[in-house]
């Protein structure tokens, strides 16, 4: 690679990473799995090290986390909310332990806690009363989410002691797995876009403007750090967590004090098994020096404390067989290939479908029908194909060719220049119309109660509607012949459609 090529690669990676990071932090809609983001970030770091002449303070490698979304008032944190360095295996953890020893900290103990995969918040109590909350943002500046966080029912609004002038604590808000699954089922029913994982759902919920919606999302919080305080002091992480518990604040009961790295490794192995049984997602374990005075000897870099490290669980993968590849047609005509898999159990659930994203992904990974493949859950929820086990091929595998016509209406499809997706061009395609009507009726659009996938399907099949405009001509008696539609639900639907005319 020459200098000009390096400059181009660096610029390209910076722009892409910024786009992914904005989608993740600002829109709560990640475009790529976390591990893919980490891989690109490492690639950029390596290039920047090799070509220091292209240093830029604005590079994604120089930022602690996401940036501040414009809609919420920015607030400066009392002390930076640092991030953690990652460890991926035993070697990384032993190196961390040795670094502690070299800094003169030996014969010490480590407190190991689950690493919640949620939304990092800083919450302040004044004289024992809830006062304010902010997101982590870029670590220095966050967003004021005091109003939204106040609507979280499980968060105590008063501490058990009122004699603490100020307590600012850090915790992780999360959505229990069950709540997440139910929320996505409901969103699917309403034709709303699904949340990719509980973390995004939690983050999206706190930014809601309707307190009832936030309360219904049943968010929980675990606290794990004190950022600023007046009138209290603690000397170990163990004491800190016990104090928070005594104040009535929720603290994860799952934690262990370890006296050697081998004890840490044993606990990590235990938790690797146990984590699927927990009712919230954890993506790793955090290992912290227990003694707070000793932490000062180690200090921090601008991003990470040197006295703690995050062990990330390896992405869980399973092998299965691609039995077929089918095409789904969306509202805009985008044709998305999905792999139908031989059902396989992975990370707590049975998987029988995986997204293949688009034609290029299938070609780049050379995925064929009949192939043995490794799958993994992206962001622990949406399954995807990581790679093909080519050594298992026996010649019976079939190449998949993207159809040049829409599989639903048979009309020509095109792949517009610069796009990854093939699109059905027929604006009357039944698949597109179905998705359009669902989208139109969704909560975030016209919010027509009772117009979910089952009813839309029936209306289209019975020829009662051909597009959204026809909804407004429906009468109660038109609906009565439909299956599972009675007098009352027919009247309700007609009324809900009529009411939508008043929407802005
Ligand atoms: S300690 C200086 N403890 O993980 C202390 N972080 O990659 C830094 N997280 O942004 C944080 N559970 O939001 C800590 N028990 C835990 C945690 C935890 C989740 C998050 C935190 C941080 C990220 C670090």
DSSP-derived letter for residue 158 is B
Judge whether 413 and 335 are in contact, CB under 8 Å: yes
| Cα–Cα distance for residue pair 260/345, rounded to 1 Å | 34
Judge whether 482 and 458 are in contact, CB under 8 Å: yes
pLDDT over 70 at 62, yes or no: no
Domains along the chain with CATH numbers: 3-54 (1.10.287.610), 74-312 (3.30.470.30), 318-417 (2.40.50.140), 430-502 (1.10.150.20)
Phi-psi region of 418 (alpha: psi -120 to 50; beta: other; left: phi over 0): left
| Cα–Cα distance for residue pair 421/434, rounded to 1 Å | 19
Residues with beta carbon inside 6 Å of ligand 1?
82-84, 113, 115-116, 120, 172, 224-225, 286, 305, 308, 310
pTM for the complete prediction? 0.64
User: Structure tokens of 235?
Assistant: 């000397």
398 DSSP β-pair partners: 369
Give distance in angstroms: CA of 82 to centre of ligand 1.
8
> What DSSP element (H or E) covers 249?
none
Largest CA distance in the chain: 82
Give distance in angstroms: CA of 287 to centre of ligand 1.
10
Q: What average pLDDT score do residues 14-41 get?
A: 79
Q: Work out which ligand 1 atom sits closest to the CA atom of 119.
A: 13
Reported confidence tier of residue 23, pLDDT bands at 50, 70, 90: confident
| Cα–Cα distance for residue pair 20/14, rounded to 1 Å | 10
Give distance in angstroms: CA of 240 to centre of ligand 1.
15
Q: Work out which ligand 1 atom sits closest to the CA atom of 115.
A: 12
pLDDT over 80 at 124, yes or no: yes
| Cα–Cα distance for residue pair 279/179, rounded to 1 Å | 9
Residue 266, Cβ neighbours under 10 Å: how many?
13
Judge whether 416 and 436 are in contact, CB under 8 Å: no
Which tens digit of pLDDT belongs to each residue from 369-426? Answer: 999 999 987 555 678 899 999 999 999 999 999 999 999 999 999 998 888 889 999 9
> What DSSP element (H or E) covers 23?
helix 3-25
- Return the pLDDT at 381: 63
DSSP-derived letter for residue 366 is T
Which of 82, 115, 252 best tests ligand 1's pocket when mutated (most atoms within 8 Å of CB)?
A: 115
Look at ligand 1, atom 4, and give the residue with the nearest C-alpha: 115
Whose tokens are 């919230």? That residue is 280
Q: Work out which ligand 1 atom sits closest to the CA atom of 120.
A: 13
| Cα–Cα distance for residue pair 93/110, rounded to 1 Å | 12
Which residues have a catalytic role annotated? Answer: 115
- Return the pLDDT at 65: 44
The share of the chain scoring above pLDDT 70, in percent, equals: 95
Look at ligand 1, atom 10, and give the residue with the nearest C-alpha: 83
Which of 35, 84, 255, 283 best tests ligand 1's pocket when mutated (most atoms within 8 Å of CB)?
A: 84
Q: Angle at Cα 179 formed by Cα 36 and Cα 177, nearest 5°?
A: 45
Which tens digit of pLDDT belongs to each residue from 435-473? Answer: 999 999 998 789 999 999 999 999 999 999 999 999 999
Look at ligand 1, atom 7, and give the residue with the nearest C-alpha: 84
Which tens digit of pLDDT belongs to each residue from 239-252? Answer: 999 999 999 999 99
Look at ligand 1, atom 23, and give the residue with the nearest C-alpha: 83
DSSP E strands in 440-497: the ranges are: none
Give residues with Cβ within 8 angstroms of 8, minimum separation 6: none
Give distance in angstroms: CA of 235 to centre of ligand 1.
19
Look at ligand 1, atom 22, and give the residue with the nearest C-alpha: 83
Which of 227, 310, 311, 313 best tests ligand 1's pocket when mutated (most atoms within 8 Å of CB)?
A: 310
């Amino acid at each position: 690679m020459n200098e000009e090529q390096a400059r181009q690669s660096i610029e390209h990676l910076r722009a892409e990473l910024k786009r992914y990071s904005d989608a993740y932090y600002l829109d709560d809609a990640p475009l790529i799995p976390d591990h893919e983001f980490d891989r690109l970030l490492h690639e950029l770091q390596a290039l920047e090290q090799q070509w220091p002449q292209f240093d830029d303070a604005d590079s994604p490698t120089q930022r602690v986390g996401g940036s501040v979304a414009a809609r919420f008032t920015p607030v400066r944190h009392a002390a930076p909310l640092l991030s953690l360095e990652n460890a991926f295996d035993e070697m990384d953890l032993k190196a961390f332990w040795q670094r502690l020893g070299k800094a003169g900290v030996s014969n010490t103990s480590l407190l190991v806690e689950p690493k919640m995969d949620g939304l990092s918040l800083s919450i302040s109590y004044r004289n024992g009363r809830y006062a304010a909350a902010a997101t982590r943002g870029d670590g220095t500046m966050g967003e004021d989410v005091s109003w939204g966080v106040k609507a979280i029912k499980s968060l105590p609004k008063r501490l058990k002691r009122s004699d603490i002038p100020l307590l600012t604590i850090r915790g992780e808000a999360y959505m229990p797995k069950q709540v997440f699954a139910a929320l996505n089922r409901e969103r699917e029913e309403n034709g709303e876009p699904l949340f990719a994982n509980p973390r995004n759902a939690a983050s999206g919920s706190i930014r809601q403007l309707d307190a009832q919606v936030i309360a219904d999302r049943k968010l929980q919080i675990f606290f794990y750090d004190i950022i600023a305080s007046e009138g209290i002091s603690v000397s170990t992480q163990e004491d800190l967590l016990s104090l928070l518990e005594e104040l009535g604040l929720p603290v994860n009961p799952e934690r262990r004090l370890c006296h050697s790295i081998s004890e840490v490794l044993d606990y990590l192995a235990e938790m690797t098994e146990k984590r699927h049984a927990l009712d919230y997602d954890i993506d790793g374990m955090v290992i912290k020096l227990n003694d707070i005075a000793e932490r000062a000897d180690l200090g921090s870099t601008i991003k990470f404390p040197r006295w703690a490290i995050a062990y990330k669980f390896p992405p869980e993968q399973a092998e299965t067989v691609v039995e077929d590849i089918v095409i789904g047609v969306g509202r805009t005509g985008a044709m998305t290939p999905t792999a139908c898999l031989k059902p396989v159990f992975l990370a707590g659930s049975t998987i029988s479908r995986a997204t293949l994203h688009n034609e290029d992904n299938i070609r780049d990974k050379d995925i064929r029908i009949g192939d043995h493949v490794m799958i993994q859950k992206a962001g622990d929820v949406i399954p995807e194909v990581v790679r093909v086990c080519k050594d298992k091929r026996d010649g019976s595998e079939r190449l998949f060719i993207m159809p040049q016509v829409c599989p639903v209406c048979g009309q020509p499809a095109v792949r517009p220049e610069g796009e990854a997706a093939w699109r059905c061009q027929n604006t009357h395609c039944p698949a597109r119309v179905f998705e359009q009507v669902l989208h139109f009726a969704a909560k975030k659009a016209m919010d027509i109660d009772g117009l979910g996938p089952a009813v839309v399907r029936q209306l289209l099949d019975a020829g009662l509607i051909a597009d959204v405009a026809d909804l407004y001509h429906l009468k109660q008696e038109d609906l009565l012949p439909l299956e599972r539609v009675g007098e009352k639900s027919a009247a309700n639907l007609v009324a809900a459609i009529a009411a939508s005319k008043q929407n802005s």
